[in-house]
Amino acid sequence: MTKDEQKHIDTIGLDKFDAAVAQAMFRLKMEGRLRAAVRLREELAYRMALKATGYKDKLFSLNRRQFGTPTQEMQDICDEFLNSVEAVE
């Protein structure tokens, strides 16, 4: 978590952010293509919650170290979910 992300979470409130993470995680757990990608689901839920609460995030990119060897298919799935999130005012 960066300082900017922490500042954003502090500004909107931890309860609101946690609710956004929980909602995103629920959506991701229902997705069969991400069933075995536990660490990826956690990071993606965090990024989706940031976007849903109005944070202007940089593009999400799969990282070899953290999530294994990235594939275009997995990147497309991540992009699909991130693009489906709308900021809630």
Spell out the domain ranges in the chain: 3-83
The number of beta carbons lying within 10 Å of the beta carbon of residue 27 is: 16
**% of residues, the chain, pLDDT over 90:** 60
Q: How wide is the angle at C-alpha 68 spanned by C-alphas 81 and 37, nearest 5°?
A: 45
**Cα distance between residue 48 and residue 58, in whole Å:** 12
Whole-structure pTM over 0.95, yes or no? no
Condensed to tens digits (0 to 9), the pLDDT of residues 13-32 reads 999 999 999 999 999 999 99
